[in-house]
């Protein structure tokens, strides 16, 4: 006998399209529902619906490389689902059985296909991440390296100018090659974005160069006055 799906199970199989997560085709599984056991089955009542889990990374410039490397990874339903970074960086999505599989009928339709489409920082892209995922991995590999800030900025600039990614770069901010460095400076010195940008444009690419600069050199930076200078000195301990 074939059991009809409950309303809760249908919500898992056919989730809403409205979500802000990078994987816009799906909601995160409702934790309360997944912990219920309405039919006394070991997988919380959904073992007959879910055949595995697939990891979907948040496809943005800020996402760590260690997380991006696992995009599209799949595990069986009973396997543990590892954490690959902060909660915002990715989510495990249920891979549901087809109606033919639920009814126990043979089918020649592949059921292990990745998501057809996911959202990203540049809009909808192929579910496997496509060319944008390739760009993100190369970008993160550069900025997470141990090279100097100047070397990393130059490397990102070369990546931005790579013809392979011209259509992607057109959809990103024009300052994408340096934005990450300005943000690092901003957080390191507890500054506003305008002041951090001014320091960067004046040639102070990282906090170590700010530490060794004279007061006169720093006060020459636009939007950096005595109070901000005192705050920076206090932040750096000098």
- Which pLDDT does position 37 carry in this prediction? 36
Q: What's the pLDDT tens digit per position in 211-221?
A: 999 999 999 99
Q: Provide the 10 A C-beta neighbour count for residue 44.
A: 15
pLDDT bucket at 45, cuts 50 / 70 / 90:
low
Residues 128 and 51: their CA atoms lie apart, in Å, by 19
| Nearest alpha carbon to residue 136 among 99, 165, 104 | 165
CA R_g for the chain: 24
Q: Which residues contact 61 (CB under 8 A, 6 or more apart)?
A: 121, 136, 139, 172, 176, 179, 180
What is the helix, strand, coil percentage profile of the chain, to 5? 40, 10, 50
**pLDDT tens-digit series, residues 155-207:** 999 999 999 999 999 999 999 999 999 999 999 999 999 999 999 999 999 99
- Report the distance separating Cα 209 and Cα 6, nearest Å: 62
Cβ 59 vs Cβ 101: under 8 Å: no
What the block records as the tokens of 237 is 């301990």
- Average pLDDT of the segment spanning 224-230: 94
Q: Give the pLDDT confidence of 81-90 residue by residue, as tens digits.
A: 999 999 999 9
Alpha-carbon distance of 200 to 195, in angstroms, equals: 9
pLDDT of residue 223: 87
Task: Report whether 81 contacts 75 (CB < 8 A).
Answer: yes
Closest CA to 48 of 104, 113, 89: 104
pLDDT surpasses 90 at 110? no
Reduced to 3 states, what is the DSSP secondary structure of residue 197? helix
pLDDT tens-digit series, residues 129-150: 999 999 999 999 999 999 999 9
Q: Is the dihedral of CA 188, 193, 195, 199 positive or negative?
A: positive
Judge contact between 172 and 159, C-beta under 8 A: no
Contact, 199 vs 224, CB < 8 A? Answer: yes
CA–CA separation, 68 and 47 (whole Å): 28
pLDDT at position 40: 37
Count of C-beta atoms within a 10 Å radius of residue 4: 6
Residue 169 structure tokens? 């770069």
Every domain of the chain and the residues it spans:
7-128, 132-236
Please list the residues that pair with 144 across neighbouring strands: none
Cα 156 to Cα 226: distance, rounded to the nearest angstrom: 34
Instruction: Report d(CA 50, CA 44) in Å as an integer.
Output: 11
Task: Output the average pLDDT for the chain.
Answer: 81
Where does the pLDDT of residue 99 fall: very low under 50, low under 70, confident under 90, or very high at 90 and above?
confident
pTM beyond 0.85: no
């Amino acid at each position: 006998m074939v059991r009809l799906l409950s309303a809760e199970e249908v919500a898992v199989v056919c989730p809403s399209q409205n979500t802000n997560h990078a994987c816009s085709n799906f909601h995160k599984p409702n934790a309360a529902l997944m912990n219920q056991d309405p039919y006394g089955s070991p997988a919380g009542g959904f073992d007959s619906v879910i055949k595995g889990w697939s990891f979907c990374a948040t496809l943005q410039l800020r996402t760590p490389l260690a997380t991006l490397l696992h995009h599209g990874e799949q595990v069986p339903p009973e396997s543990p689902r590892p954490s690959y970074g902060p909660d915002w960086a990715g989510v495990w999505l249920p891979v549901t059985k087809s109606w033919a599989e639920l009814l126990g009928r043979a089918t020649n339709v592949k059921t292990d296909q990745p998501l057809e489409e996911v959202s990203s920082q540049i809009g909808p892209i192929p579910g496997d991440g496509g060319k944008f995922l390739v760009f993100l991995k190369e970008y993160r590999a550069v900025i997470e390296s141990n090279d100097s800030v100047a070397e990393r900025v130059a490397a990102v600039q070369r990546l931005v100018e790579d013809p392979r990614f011209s259509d992607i770069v057109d959809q990103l901010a024009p300052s994408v090659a340096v934005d990450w460095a300005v943000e690092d400076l901003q957080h390191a010195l507890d500054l506003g974005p305008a002041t951090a940008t001014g320091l960067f444009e004046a040639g102070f690419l990282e906090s170590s160069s700010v530490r060794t600069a004279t007061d006169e050199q720093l006060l020459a930076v636009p939007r950096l006055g005595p109070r901000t200078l005192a705050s920076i000195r206090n932040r750096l301990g000098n």
